[in-house]
């Protein structure tokens, strides 16, 4: 009988520890509303410090509700044992988002990207960096990587080390070569570039735009962009000498 009661007490104690533990995690990320220029915004706080600001509604949720949603998702992920090391940028149903493992944390939307003068990927990178920094500062968090380890991180590196001359293929003309381009970027990325895809656009009758996308495949059915590379010279390539 005594043994039985000891087991019950033990189980209860473990349950209490689990509940307290969950509450401790739950307290890590919080959200609050604020008003800026008459507009409702939401702030996501980690350890009582602002990590993200949500300035617009999306998916039917006003900005403060979105901030609460982000905080809830963070707490749930942290409760499942996630750390800053599990944070990553990926696509979720076609949208660029920050995830903790496979769990969605926040979707990078057009409004915030434009407000920050960047792309959705650029915004996701900024939000990812903020969240990583906030979670790294938590007591007991895994230490930040050393300089050599961070150099090997999968984040996009725009530092230039390699150059390559590749053909420019027109997307509108189904892959017809329309010139040559020299691409620059990190050596490992430049090596992947097989061609530059050219997308032609018109804007307000006054602007003709040629968009250059360094790609890893000569097939343009789908553009396989090589990130971190860009064009720095374009021109015509004479293939036959007369």
Site string for another protein, 165-184 (x = CB under 8 A): x-----x--------x-xxx
Total residues binding another protein (CB under 8 A): 55
Under rule CB under 8 A, residue 111 binds another protein? no
How many residues can be counted in the chain?
242
Of 207, 216, 219, 221, the residue at the interface with another protein (CB under 8 A) is 207
**The token pair that represents 86 in the structure block:** 């599990």
Under rule CB under 8 A, residue 221 binds another protein? no
**For residues 43 and 29, is the Cβ–Cβ distance under 8 A?**
no
What is the distance, to the nearest Å, from the Cα of residue 142 to the centroid of all Cα atoms in its chain?
21
Closest CB to another protein among residues 76, 182: 182
**For residues 72 and 61, is the Cβ–Cβ distance under 8 A?**
no
Under rule CB under 8 A, residue 194 binds another protein? no
H or E stretch at 21: helix 2-26
Candidate ranges 24-32, 44-52, 140-148, 197-205; the one touching another protein (CB under 8 A): 197-205
For the chain, how far is it from start to end, CA to CA, in angstroms?
Answer: 103
**For residues 39 and 6, is the Cβ–Cβ distance under 8 A?**
no
- Whose structure tokens read 């971190």? 228
Least gap, CB of 71 to another protein (angstroms):
26
Closest CB to another protein among residues 28, 226: 226
Closest CB to another protein among residues 100, 168: 168
Least gap, CB of 7 to another protein (angstroms):
54
Closest CB to another protein among residues 25, 127: 127
**For residues 181 and 168, is the Cβ–Cβ distance under 8 A?**
yes
Least gap, CB of 19 to another protein (angstroms):
41
- Whose structure tokens read 């150059």? 163
Tell me which residue of 183, 184, 176 sits closest to 160, measured CA to CA: 184
Specify the pairing of strand 95-100 against strand 162-170.
unpaired
How far apart are the C-alpha atoms of 105 and 128, rounded to whole Å?
Answer: 10
Of 102, 114, 176, 219, the residue at the interface with another protein (CB under 8 A) is 114
Closest CB to another protein among residues 3, 238: 238
Candidate ranges 13-21, 45-53, 76-84, 194-202; the one touching another protein (CB under 8 A): 194-202
How far apart are the C-alpha atoms of 123 and 25, rounded to whole Å?
Answer: 26
- Binding residues for another protein, rule: CB under 8 A, are 89, 96, 113-114, 117-122, 125-126, 156, 158-160, 165, 171, 180, 182-185, 197, 199, 201, 203-213, 215, 222-223, 225, 227-239, 241
């Amino acid at each position: 009988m005594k043994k039985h009661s000891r087991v019950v007490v033990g189980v209860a104690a473990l349950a209490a520890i689990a509940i307290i533990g969950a509450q401790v995690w739950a307290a890590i990320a919080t959200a609050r509303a604020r008003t800026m220029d008459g507009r409702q915004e939401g702030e996501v706080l980690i350890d009582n410090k602002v990590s993200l600001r949500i300035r617009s509604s999306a998916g039917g949720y006003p900005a403060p509700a979105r901030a609460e949603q982000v905080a809830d998702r963070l707490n749930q992920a942290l409760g499942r044992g996630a750390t800053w090391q599990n944070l990553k940028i990926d696509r979720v149903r076609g949208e660029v988002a920050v995830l903790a493992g496979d769990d969605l944390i926040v979707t990078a939307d057009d409004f915030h990207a434009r407000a920050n003068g960047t792309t959705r990927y650029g915004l996701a990178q900024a939000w990812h960096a903020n969240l990583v920094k906030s979670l790294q500062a938590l007591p007991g968090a895994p230490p930040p990587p050393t300089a050599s380890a961070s150099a090997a991180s999968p984040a996009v590196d725009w530092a230039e080390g390699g150059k390559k001359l590749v053909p420019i293929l027109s997307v509108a003309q189904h892959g017809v070569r329309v010139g040559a381009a020299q691409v620059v970027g990190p050596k490992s990325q430049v090596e992947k570039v097989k061609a530059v895809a050219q997308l032609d656009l018109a804007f307000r009758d006054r602007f003709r735009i040629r968009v250059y996308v360094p790609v890893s495949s000569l097939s343009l059915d789908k553009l396989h962009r090589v990130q971190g590379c860009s064009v720095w010279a374009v021109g015509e390539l004479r293939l036959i000498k007369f």
